[in-house]
Structure 1
């Protein structure tokens, strides 16, 4: 399904139980489709943290299908994109781009950390104007998943 121009990003201020479950489902499906460097143990380590901690630590914006189902979401905090996940059944349909443009258009977002081992995400952010400004050997949890630190200087939609 192609997102229609009438679909607009929606800020999620209070997560309903159904929305929280759907966000975790989108996260897990997207991670399984794109984070091939993670093992099952890693996914199970992160899943409860996404559900119980990470979703509440960011400002969330989602994009829904006409039937109300969340297709993708982005979370930001303190000038940084902390998460961007799209249901893999809808990859390549402009959902991630629409979400990213929305938060960049609101202003104040200038950075994102991306798993170096996720070349699709690295390429996506670079196509959107981000450049690599640094690298860390480990992720925020101290796990051996190198991160690239990206920054965008100017955004114009």
Structure 2
């Protein structure tokens, strides 16, 4: 980061963040998911409101954290039980270490309550899968069926001394 920029902060999301989180999710899906889901699936998913509804339902339950910089939400994570349900970084802020920062925070939150944590990713999302593997996550189950194939990643509390530290 250049001098003069404020460091990013992570804080619990509030109801006032809903619109910003939904816009960020739609932008990220639009910019990053077309390569492996295709235009039709991305357009349907964004247009269906499923992404917006997913974020809203989790915001009501808690477990949503915002990554903010200079007052703007640039990323977020949704934690559900022992799972990182969703994690996104604004496409304009990729490859700056922000994903690692947010992932490390999510891991710490989950490891405070669970010895093994998990997440799912689309099997064809090579960028995300490479990222998770570089951060010490290992392959678990593969889920095939209706819709795109997903792969589970798992991490044990004993693995926290690995690459994400």
Q: Say whether the fold is shared (TM-score over 0.5).
A: yes
1:60 aligns with 2:67: no
Tell me which residue corresponds to 1:101: 104
CA distance in structure 2 between the partners assigned to 1:2 and 1:56 by the alignment: 36
Shift in Å, 1:2:
6.2
CA-CA distance at 1:155 after TM superposition = 1.6
| Alignment partner, residue 129 of structure 2 | 122
Q: Work out the CA distance in 1 between the residues paired with 2:65 and 2:75.
A: 9
Query: What is the Cα-based RMSD across aligned positions, in Å?
Result: 2.2
Helix, strand or coil at the partner of 1:9: strand
Contact persistence 1:28–1:43 (CA under 8 A): no
Q: 1:72 aligns with which of 75, 78, 87?
A: 75
Structure 1 residues 65 and 54, CA, compared in 2 at 3 Å: closer, same or farther? closer
Higher fraction of helix? 2
TM-score under structure 1 length normalisation: 0.83
Q: Match for residue 146 of structure 1?
A: 149
- Contact kept in structure 1, 2:26 and 2:51, CA below 8 Å: no
Cα offset, 1:52, TM superposition: 2.0
Counterpart CA distance in 1 for 2:2 and 2:86 is 22
Partner SS, residue 37 of structure 2:
coil
Shift of 1:71: 0.4
Across the two proteins, how many residue pairs are aligned to each other?
A: 149
